[in-house]
Amino acid sequence: MEHTITAPGPFAEIEEQVIQVLEQQGFVVRRTFSLHSAAGRDAHPLEKPGFSVLMLYAAEATCPPLGLITLYEREDQIVIQTASATQPPPVSDAEAKLVAALMMGGLKLCSCGGRPCRTATLERLEREEDV
């Protein structure tokens, strides 16, 4: 699932907010990849390197990963994509729980998909799961 984070702020701040919210909801978050310090042509720093990949685990360290979150900037918006590490697409229960955890933690998400933006709600998320 792809959503746009509607909170204002620079990428690094929103990334930290996403990590904090997920940790408050009981997930163990490991940043596996980040482009904050990426360099472009001729080793010059990239203007907007905002791109991170987060792996999510249950509190038990021996469990396999539950999900994957990709967070990146696109056209001056911060996009978050969630994917289950345990269930195939289209929308898995684990994926829906990740999005619900973000919303319950106070992040405002919008599921645009190229259409006029609509704010995601827990009720809408549950209806889309039933389809």
Q: What is the pTM assigned to this prediction?
A: 0.67
Compute the mean pLDDT over every residue in the chain, rounded to the nearest whole number.
72
Q: Which residues pair with 52 in a beta bridge?
A: 34, 71
Q: Which residues pair with 67 in a beta bridge?
A: 56, 84
C-alpha 84/C-alpha 1 separation (Å) is 10
Per-residue pLDDT tens digits for 36-82 = 555 555 555 555 567 888 888 877 666 777 788 888 887 778 888 88
CATH of the domain at 76: 3.30.310
Mean pLDDT value of segment 12-19:
88
Domain range enclosing 91? 2-130
Amino acid letter for position 3: H
Tokens of 97: 């729980």
| Per-residue pLDDT band at 14 (split at 50, 70, 90) | confident
C-alpha 120/C-alpha 49 separation (Å) is 26
Q: Please determine, for residue 88, whether its predicted confidence score (pLDDT) is greater than 70.
A: no
Domain count within the chain = 1
Per the CB < 8 A criterion, the answer to whether 27 and 58 are in contact is: yes
